[in-house]
C-alpha cells in the first residue's frame, strides 16, 4: 500500500468510522512524522494532529466501504459475513478490508499481519522485499542511534538469510 502523500510504502494507517461509513488513510513513516503523528513515546500521541488529519479538509475519504457493500467477485454481501461469520471468497479480504481489519485485530489479539510460512511461489519474492524493508529500518535506527532496535533488526535480517538459503 502506497503512502497518501508520496510513493513510499505506507506503514501508518488511520481509520475513521462515521455513520457506518469507514474511511481510511495510509501514510509512510516519514510523512506521518512530518504531520506529527508519530509520538516520541507511546504516552504522548499527538491527538490533535491525528484528529486534524482525520477530520480536516484533507482529501479523505479515499475508499469508503459501506456496511451494505457486496463483493463483486463472489456476490457475498458484507451483511452475510456478519450474520454467518464466513467469508465468500479470497477476494473478500480485499473488498471488505477496512471492515475486516478491526475484526481481525479483535479475534487475532491485535495482529493484522501474517508471520510464518509462505507458499513456495511467494517465498523468494517476499524474502527480497522483506530484507529491503528491514535494511531501510536498520539504516533509520542507526541514524537515530537506536542501537537496541538496530541489533534486533540485524538479527531479523540474519534470520532471513538462513530462511533464504533453505
Partner 1 sequence: MNASRMSSHLGEWLRGSGPESDVVVSTRIRLARNLAGEPFTTRATPHQKAEIESRLREVVDLLELEHPLKYVSVAAMPAIDRQFLVERQLISRELAGVLEGPRGVAFDEPETVSIMVNEEDHLRLQSMRSGLELEAAWATIDRVDDAIESRVEYAFTDEFGYLTACPTNVGTGMRASVMLHLPALGLAKQIDKAFKALQKINLVVRGLYGEGSRALGDFFQISNQITLGKSEVASLNDIRTVILEIIKYERMARSTLMREARQNILDKVARALGTLQSATMMTSEETMELLSAVRLGVHLKIVGDLSPLTVNELFIHTQPAHLQKLMGEPLDGEARNAARATYLRNRLRTAGSSS
Among 109, 162, 165, 166, the residue binding partner 1 under the rule CB under 8 A is 109
Among 103, 140, 156, 157, the residue binding partner 1 under the rule CB under 8 A is 103
Position of cell 513456495? 120
# binding residues, partner 1 (CB under 8 A): 32
Quote the least distance from Cβ 13 to partner 1, whole Å.
11
Work out whether the CA dihedral 77, 79, 82, 85 comes out positive or negative: negative
Check if the beta carbon of residue 106 is closer than 8 Å to that of residue 93: no
Nearer to partner 1, 56 or 90 (CB): 90
Among 21, 58, 66, 108, the residue binding partner 1 under the rule CB under 8 A is 108
Binding of residue 166 to partner 1 (CB under 8 A): no
Order of strands, sheet of 65-66, starting from the edge strand that comes earlier in the sequence: 12-18, 21-27, 65-66
**Of the candidates 33, 28, 27, the residue with the CA atom closest to the CA atom of residue 15:** 27
Show the beta-strand stretches assigned E in 28-71. 65-66
What mask of x and - would describe binding to partner 1 in positions 127 to 146, judged by CB under 8 A? --x-----------------
Binding of residue 162 to partner 1 (CB under 8 A): no
Q: Which of residues 68-97 bind partner 1 (CB under 8 A)?
A: 74, 76, 84-90, 93-94
Question: 111-142: string of b/e by CB count within 10 Å (b at 16+)?
Answer: eeeeeeeeeeeeeeeebeebbeebeebbeebe
Binding of residue 98 to partner 1 (CB under 8 A): no
Among 126, 128, 132, 151, the residue binding partner 1 under the rule CB under 8 A is 126
- Phi-psi category of residue 19: left, alpha or beta, with phi > 0 → left and psi -120 to 50 → alpha: left
Among 111, 124, 128, 155, the residue binding partner 1 under the rule CB under 8 A is 111
Question: Using CB under 8 A as the criterion, which residues of the chain lie in contact with partner 1 when the complex forms?
Answer: 74, 76, 84-90, 93-94, 100, 103-104, 107-122, 126, 129
Amino acid at each position: 500500500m502506497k503512502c497518501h502523500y508520496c510513493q513510499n510504502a505506507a506503514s501508518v494507517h488511520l481509520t475513521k468510522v462515521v455513520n457506518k461509513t469507514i474511511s481510511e488513510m495510509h501514510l509512510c513513516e516519514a510523512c506521518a512524522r512530518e504531520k506529527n503523528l508519530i509520538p516520541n513515546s507511546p504516552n504522548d500521541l499527538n491527538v490533535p494532529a491525528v484528529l486534524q488529519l482525520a477530520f480536516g479538509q484533507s482529501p479523505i475519504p479515499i475508499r469508503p466501504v459501506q456496511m451494505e457493500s457486496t463483493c463483486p467477485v463472489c456476490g457475498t454481501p458484507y451483511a452475510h459475513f456478519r450474520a454467518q461469520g464466513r467469508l465468500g471468497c479470497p477476494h473478500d479480504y480485499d473488498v471488505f478490508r477496512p471492515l475486516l481489519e478491526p475484526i481481525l485485530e479483535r479475534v487475532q489479539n491485535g495482529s493484522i499481519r501474517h508471520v510464518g510460512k509462505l507458499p513456495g511461489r511467494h517465498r523468494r519474492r517476499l524474502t527480497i522485499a522483506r530484507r529491503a524493508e528491514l535494511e531501510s529500518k536498520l539504516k533509520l535506527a542507526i541514524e537515530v542511534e537506536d542501537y537496541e532496535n538496530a541489533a534486533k533488526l540485524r538479527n531479523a535480517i540474519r534470520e532471513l538469510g538462513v530462511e533464504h538459503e533453505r
